[in-house]
């Protein structure tokens, strides 16, 4: 029998040094190894432990969908509150409690809300393009475009009043800033929590336009204020980090492939397929953790109760079983059922909104600045290798 504890330095999130969009050769090799190899995993809250690496498309999908494999991070009332350890933070819940909360929030993500937001999103995209144009011809695309657009969308979604937006955005920016000290982060988190508490309180007593108001109108008696605050914090982080990194990294990937950039810029049909392809190709949520709640078999592999699994969304989305012989960027690829938004119980609630944002932001940027290019050598760019959500820390561009 093979020893599943074979030492390995391979991680489920490792990207190629020469191309930060694609899996490293070691990760591809890991995918080709039989079984679910054990890898060392360091977790910010749970410390050092072993995890089974799940890298093949079929296996990752099966694990996502398994009813006895969950996030297993339910809020611990005795531990200090953090962003992840709080009631209402859906990503940490499993089973019926997760379904109960998710149903309430999902009801507020209506097609109608999305339709109402689309013209507004297109307007803020146009405003940011104008501002970039006026202050150019050089800009940091992250600060000037990729971050502020999702940030304003979150404000609108949560029903943050206009007069509060500057403060709210400042606190969100600090929350997402990994260079801040732990103390700064705790103080900022407390301020954010207090603000969210006020927003929830106001939404309970006054008619409110955002999703929190909607959840209160429909389910006010079934949900606590603490859970509503958790919803707000979840939407803030889930909608911010992801979409902004997709806009910046997507633009960069296209600038590295000028013929594909031209196709997205000039052909409306390609622009639509390109969004799905960039989601698959970049797999910015590179990996996710799961834990088995009972002994079980998944895709023919035996997993013991309590074992951790490290799911490589990146490796799965580049698996030939999904992408065929060539997993490289191909904006004309017929969309495939990628796992960039996850799958199963926790599948992204904001995926349609994210698609609307990306469809509004990416082609419009390329059309407004047809000669868009990097303002610094590619080698000088810094990537977010420290985070499970991949991206570029700043992106100086010119036109």
Stretch that binds ligand HEM, among 4-12, 176-184, 260-268, 347-355 (CB under 6 A): 347-355
285 part of the interface to ligand HEM, by CB under 6 A: yes
**Smaller CB distance to ligand HEM: residue 157 or 223?**
157
292: buried, middle or exposed (CB in 10 Å: 19+, 13-18, 0-12)?
buried
Q: What residues from 139 to 158 belong to the interface with ligand HEM (CB under 6 A)?
A: 157
Comparison of 22 and 371: residue with beta carbon closer to ligand HEM: 22
Q: How far is the CB of 78 from ligand HEM (least distance, A)?
A: 23
Distance CA 333, CA 214 (A): 38
* Sole binder of ligand HEM in the list 51, 175, 246, 331 (CB under 6 A): 246
d(CA 314, CA 23): 7
Q: Which residue's CB is nearer to ligand HEM, number 223 or number 354?
A: 354
Closest distance of CB 324 from ligand HEM, Å: 22
In the list 60, 62, 69, 90, the residue contacting ligand HEM (rule: CB under 6 A) is 90
Give the contact letters, 172-211, x = binds to ligand HEM (CB under 6 A), - = no.
----------------------------------------
70 binds ligand HEM (CB under 6 A): no
25: phi then psi, degrees, rounded to nearest 5 = -60, -35
**Whole-angstrom distance, CA of residue 219 vs CA of residue 203:** 13
CB count within 10 Å of CB 207 equals 9
Q: Using CA atoms, how far apart are residues 161 and 176, in angstroms rounded to an integer? A: 21
If the CB atoms of residues 74 and 398 are measured against ligand HEM, the closer one turns out to be: 74
Other Cβ atoms less than 10 A from the Cβ of 223: the count is 22
- Site for ligand HEM (CB under 6 A): which residue of 31, 318, 346, 384? 346
Buried b (16+ CB within 10 A) or exposed e, 82-118: ebbbbbbbbebbbeeebeebbebbeebbeeebeeebe
DSSP reduced 3-state for 288: strand
Site of interaction with ligand HEM (CB under 6 A): 90-91, 102, 157, 234-235, 238-239, 242-243, 246, 284-285, 288, 340-342, 346, 348-350, 353-354
């Amino acid at each position: 029998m093979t020893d599943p504890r074979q030492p390995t330095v391979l991680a489920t999130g490792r990207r190629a040094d020469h191309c930060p969009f694609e899996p490293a050769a070691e990760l591809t090799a890991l995918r080709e190894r039989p079984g679910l190899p054990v890898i060392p995993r360091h977790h910010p809250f749970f410390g050092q432990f072993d995890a089974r690496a799940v890298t093949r498309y079929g296996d990752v999908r099966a694990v996502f969908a398994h009813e006895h494999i969950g996030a297993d991070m339910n809020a611990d009332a005795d531990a200090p509150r953090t962003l992840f350890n709080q009631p209402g933070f859906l990503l940490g819940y499993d089973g019926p409690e997760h379904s109960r909360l998710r149903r309430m929030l999902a009801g507020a993500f209506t097609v109608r809300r999305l339709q109402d937001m689309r013209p507004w999103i297109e307007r803020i995209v146009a405003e940011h393009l104008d501002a970039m144009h006026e202050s150019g011809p050089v800009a940091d695309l992250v600060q000037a475009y990729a971050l502020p657009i999702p940030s304003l969308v979150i404000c609108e979604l949560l029903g943050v009043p206009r007069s509060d937006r500057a403060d709210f955005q400042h606190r969100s920016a600090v929350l997402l800033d990994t260079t801040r000290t732990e103390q700064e982060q705790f103080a900022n988190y407390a301020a954010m929590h207090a603000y969210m508490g006020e927003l929830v309180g106001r939404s309970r007593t006054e008619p409110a336009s955002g999703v929190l108001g909607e959840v209160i109108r429909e389910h006010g008696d079934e949900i606590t204020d603490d859970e509503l605050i958790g919803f707000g914090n979840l939407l803030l982080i889930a909608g911010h980090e992801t979409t902004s990194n997709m806009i910046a990294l997507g633009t960069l990937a296209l600038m590295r492939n000028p013929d594909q950039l031209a196709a997205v810029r000039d052909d409306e049909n390609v622009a639509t397929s390109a969004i799905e392809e960039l989601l698959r190709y970049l797999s910015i949520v590179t990996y996710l953790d799961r834990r088995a709640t009972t002994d079980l078999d998944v895709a023919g592999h035996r997993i013991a109760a309590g074992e951790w699994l490290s799911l490589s969304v990146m490796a799965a989305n580049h698996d030939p079983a999904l992408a065929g012989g060539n997993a490289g960027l191909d904006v004309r690829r017929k969309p495939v059922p990628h796992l960039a938004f996850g799958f199963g119980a926790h599948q992204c609630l904001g995926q349609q909104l994210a698609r609307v944002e990306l469809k509004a932001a990416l082609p419009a940027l390329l059309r407004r600045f047809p000669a868009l290019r990097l303002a610094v050598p590619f080698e000088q760019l810094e990537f977010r290798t420290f985070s499970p959500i991949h991206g570029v820390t700043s992106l100086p561009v010119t036109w």
